[in-house]
Amino acid sequence: MERPSHLIDTHEVVGASAAEVRPIPVTRTFLPDLAAYTELMRGVWERGWLTNHGPLVKDLENRLREYLNAPDLFVLNNGTVALQIGIKALDLRDEVIVTPFSYVATVSSAVWENCTPVFADIDPVHLTIDPKAVERAITPRTTGILATHVFGVPCATEELQDIADRHGLRILYDGAHVFGVRYLGKPITAYGDVTTLSFHATKLFHTIEGGAVIARNAELGHKLSYMRNFGHNGPEAFQGIGINGKMSEAHAAMGHLVLDSMDHIARSRKISWEAYRDALGDITALELLHVREGTDYNHAYFPVVFDTEARLLKVREALRAEHIEPRRYFYPSLDTLPYVVSEACAVSRSIAQRVLCLPLFADMHPELVPRIAGIVRAGL
């Protein structure tokens, strides 16, 4: 397929000027065949049914329930509304124990829902919330735990459930990175009370904008389902308070086509992820991701943790000089947000200063990973 020159990737041409090349971003959205998308949209035009639980949304919801083995899954318009609905459905209020190492939405949604975030530091190996720190952070005002399966690595789910059971707490997992992961023989979404997903265009599976909530049981699932639809229970009755969390047919159409290609996407990302690991695994100044034992991983991200921030900045400059744009995921540590009060989370702050996510997406040019790895190695 011919592309205009400004869309030519840097690895495809030698000696091209900056104006002619498209930078390599940290992630590139998987785009299905445009004709197939148009065909699905033709059906939307014919039906004149654009939103409010249309057939594409309902079908996608059913396909995702099956694909993820999650019977009480409900699709939503984004992953942040998913968190807000999860917080409301679990009646989280007052103090909620949160991870400082995540995307800002994890913590901002809790604050938005009038919870007081109490930060528990992370485990330096897996980068997920440290159960011992969670236990120390519990007070008589604690109502729940909000933790992220960061970079697709499961939290210490067994230990967290044990703590929650002993203290009568609910667990909400931010599963924005964890699409398709299985842990200890079960879908990752089977752990905790509610798990949220994000289907944003930067994520492994996407619907342009979108998300989902998954409940551990049908009763909680029912609560999630009316909460996403203004609290409606039939056209003229209300079950309780709700919000507009509905996905549209245009977003669901994208979801269907991306889901059709999911096996290809997963395979392609795995190849690039393993190529990075093989190319960078021997460098002592770099720590690679430690996927928790017992995980069927989804190759969602390729973060590298440098021994010093100075080295990170040096390597980032070297990559930028070659039109490669890694991202500082996640920086800054969320315990430094201007609207929270927290004791310093030393581990999270230290990791946040030294972590960089390298470009990873489906259908990367085969020469790209060795090229990026070479720049990283030379730039150390």
Ligand X SMILES: *Cc1c(COP(=O)(O)O)cnc(C)c1O
| 105 lies in the site for ligand X, by CB under 6 A | yes
Residue 128 Cβ, how far from ligand X at the closest point, in Å?
Answer: 12
Residue 255 Cβ, how far from ligand X at the closest point, in Å?
Answer: 13
Is the CB of 85 or the CB of 372 nearer to ligand X? Answer: 85
- Tokens linked to 27: 């992630």
Query: Could you give the CA distance from residue 359 to residue 25 in angstroms, rounded to a whole number?
Result: 6
How many residues form the binding site for ligand X (CB under 6 A)? 14
| DSSP labels, 173-242 | EE-TT-TT-EETTEEGGGSSSEEEEE--TTSSS--SS-EEEEESSHHHHHHHHHHTBTTBSSTT-B-S--
Query: Could you give the CA distance from residue 291 to residue 212 in angstroms, rounded to a whole number?
Result: 24
Is the CB of 170 or the CB of 206 nearer to ligand X? Answer: 206
Q: For 91-128, what is the HEC assignment?
A: CCCCEEEECCCCCHHHHHHHHHCCCEEEECCECCCCCC
Q: Which residue is nearest to ligand X (CB)?
A: 79
> At 163, which helix (H) or strand (E)?
helix 157-167
Closest CA relative to residue 89, chosen from 249, 221, 192, 183: 221
| Region 147-186 residues binding ligand X, contact defined as CB under 6 A | 148, 174, 176-177
Q: Tell me, residue by residue from 255 to 274, as one string, x for binding to ligand X by CB under 6 A and - for no binding.
A: --------------------
Residue 225 Cβ, how far from ligand X at the closest point, in Å?
Answer: 19
Piece of the chain touching ligand X by CB under 6 A; list 73-81, 89-97, 133-141, 163-171: 73-81
Is the CB of 206 or the CB of 316 nearer to ligand X? Answer: 206
Residue 200 Cβ, how far from ligand X at the closest point, in Å?
Answer: 4
| 106 lies in the site for ligand X, by CB under 6 A | yes
| Region 201-220 residues binding ligand X, contact defined as CB under 6 A | 211
Is the CB of 127 or the CB of 215 nearer to ligand X? Answer: 127
Long-range contacts of 336-340 (CB under 8 A, 24+ apart): 337/104, 337/107, 337/108, 339/111, 340/107, 340/111, 340/117, 340/119
| 103 lies in the site for ligand X, by CB under 6 A | yes
The residue within the footprint of ligand X, chosen from 126, 170, 200, 349 (CB under 6 A), is 200
Is the CB of 77 or the CB of 295 nearer to ligand X? Answer: 77
| 79 lies in the site for ligand X, by CB under 6 A | yes
| 117 lies in the site for ligand X, by CB under 6 A | no
Query: Could you give the CA distance from residue 372 to residue 358 in angstroms, rounded to a whole number?
Result: 8
Residue 295 Cβ, how far from ligand X at the closest point, in Å?
Answer: 17
Region label for 146, one of left (φ > 0), alpha (ψ between -120 and 50) or beta (otherwise): beta
Exposure of 101 by Cβ count < 10 A (0-12 exposed, 13-18 middle, 19+ buried)?
buried
| 102 lies in the site for ligand X, by CB under 6 A | yes
The contact set with ligand X (CB under 6 A) reads 78-80, 102-103, 105-106, 148, 174, 176-177, 198, 200, 211
